[in-house]
């Protein structure tokens, strides 16, 4: 073998090793942070987060859910948990994040927050630093972090969306849900420079209906917000089993695993983590936490 070729092979091998090491460190250090959001409330965010989390934990992923939804039905209800503490106790330095976390039977860790997340940007520098340290420890215990952000364009919803790896917008076929989803993406793109979203259409009868919702949103974006990209991720059918499960303070994935909505959410969850991260994705845990708390990164 001539020398040059030998050298090229070494360089190539070196690059490959570096790439592998990089990917491994990426996977280890940076859990994927996925925000699930909507313009309008009551479109299924909390159930989608809970059930996708179950699907992924069954697939062997370590999943954390941050409950930042200040709406009525919080994630602890469908997991039938009654957490005693919340993010407030971490902010006040009374407890560590690991101590307020509750673990479900599936092994999913939940950080109860509710309204406690609403004013995180108002914290003192000391409180922020404390929280940053706490959140960074999540990197060691999780592969995927879901953020149930709540609906609308309040500042905490926007913070979570803009700091996550991925922002999944949930909409239904209701016109108000579509216009509110559009309004959310508009604010996100104009005020937070977020240009990339995924869409899940919930509570439709079939794919055709879901695609109609997607078409309505993407044509509005094409017209008025040309630099925003909305990717169609899939749909979840309207499924009475889901409502029955909620009434029992449970998850459809546990109670009716073979029902249409369970299957759809399982497929969506698996697809979500199997797609490679966008190369320009800013999301990593440190960035996420710093930005969430309004600290320069």
**CA distance readout (Å), 170 to 4, 20, 178, 205, 266:** 55, 35, 9, 16, 16
The option from Mg ion, ligand ADP, none interacting with 236 (CB < 5 to 8 A, set by class) reads ligand ADP
Contact segment (CB under 5 A) with Mg ion among 43-51, 52-60, 85-93, 174-182 equals: 43-51
The CA distance from 81 to 102, in Å, is 8
Q: Nearest Cα to 205, choosing from 213, 197, 217, 216?
A: 213
Q: Which does 220 bind (CB under 5 to 8 A by kind): Mg ion, ligand ADP, none?
A: none
CA distance 86 to 207: 39
Binding mask 38-77 for ligand ADP (x = CB under 6 A): x--xxxxxxx---------------------x-x-x----
The listed partner (ligand ADP, Mg ion, none) that binds 261, CB under 5 to 8 Å by sort, is ligand ADP
Q: Which of 157, 162, 168, 197 is nearest to 269 (CA)?
A: 168
Is 168 a binding residue for ligand ADP by CB under 6 A? The answer is no
Binding segment for ligand ADP (CB under 6 A), chosen from 2-10, 56-64, 138-146, 236-244, is 236-244
Nearer to Mg ion, 86 or 189 (CB): 86
Cβ proximity to Mg ion: between 69 and 266 the closer is 69
Interface residue with ligand ADP, options 238, 259, 269, 288 (CB under 6 A): 238
Closest by Cα among 127, 155, 194 to 68: 155
Q: What is the largest CA-CA distance in the chain?
A: 73
Find the shortest distance in angstroms from Cβ 24 to ligand ADP.
35
Give the ranges where 59-154 is alpha helix by DSSP (H): 75-78, 87-91, 97-100, 125-136
Rg (CA), the chain: 20
234's contact among Mg ion, ligand ADP, none, with CB below 5 to 8 A by partner kind, is: none
> Which candidate, 268, 295, 294, 285, places its Cα nearest to that of 59?
268
Using the rule CB under 6 A, which residue among 261, 272, 285, 293 binds ligand ADP?
261
Number of residues near ligand ADP (by CB under 6 A): 20
Residue whose C-alpha is closest to residue 111's, from 289, 297, 290: 289
Let me know: does 169 contact 184? Beta carbons within 8 Å: yes
Q: How far is the CB of 236 from ligand ADP (least distance, A)?
A: 5
**Phi, psi dihedral angles at 82 (to 5 degrees):** -130, 80
Q: Which has the closest alpha carbon to 49: 33, 65, 71?
A: 65
Residue 273 Cβ vs ligand ADP, minimum distance, rounded to whole Å? 20
Stretch that binds ligand ADP, among 26-34, 36-44, 109-117, 217-225 (CB under 6 A): 36-44
Rule CB under 6 A: which residues touch ligand ADP?
A: 38, 41-47, 69, 71, 73, 202-203, 236, 238-239, 242-243, 246, 261
By the criterion CB under 5 A, which residues form the site for Mg ion?
A: 45-46, 69, 71
């Amino acid at each position: 073998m001539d020398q040059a070729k030998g050298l090229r092979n070494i360089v190539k091998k070196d690059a490959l090793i570096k790439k592998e090491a990089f990917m491994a460190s990426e996977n280890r250090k940076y859990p994927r942070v996925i925000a699930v959001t909507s313009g309008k409330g009551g479109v299924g965010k909390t159930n989608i987060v809970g059930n996708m989390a179950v699907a992924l934990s069954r697939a062997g992923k370590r999943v954390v859910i941050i409950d930042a939804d200040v709406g009525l039905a919080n994630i602890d209800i469908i997991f039938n948990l009654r957490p005693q503490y919340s993010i407030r106790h971490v902010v006040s330095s009374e407890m560590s994040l690991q101590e307020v976390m509750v673990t479900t039977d599936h092994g999913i860790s939940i950080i109860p927050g509710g309204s406690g997340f609403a004013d995180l940007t108002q914290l003192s520098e000391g409180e922020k630093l404390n929280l940053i340290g706490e959140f960074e420890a999540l990197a060691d215990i999780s592969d995927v972090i879901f953020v149930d952000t709540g609906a609308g364009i309040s500042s905490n919803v926007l913070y979570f969306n803009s700091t996550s790896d991925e922002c999944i917008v949930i909409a239904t076929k209701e016109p108000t849900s579509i216009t509110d989803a559009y309004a959310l993406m508009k604010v996100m793109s104009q005020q937070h420079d977020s240009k990339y979203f995924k869409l899940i259409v919930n509570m439709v009868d079939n794919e055709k209906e879901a695609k109609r919702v997607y078409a309505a949103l993407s044509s509005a974006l094409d017209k008025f917000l040309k630099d925003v990209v909305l990717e169609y991720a899939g749909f979840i059918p309207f499924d009475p089993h889901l409502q029955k499960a909620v009434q029992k303070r449970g998850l459809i994935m546990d109670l009716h695993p073979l029902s249409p909505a369970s299957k759809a959410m399982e497929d969506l969850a698996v697809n979500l983590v199997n797609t490679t991260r966008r190369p320009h994705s800013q999301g990593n845990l440190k960035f996420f936490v710093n930005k969430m708390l309004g600290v320069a990164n």
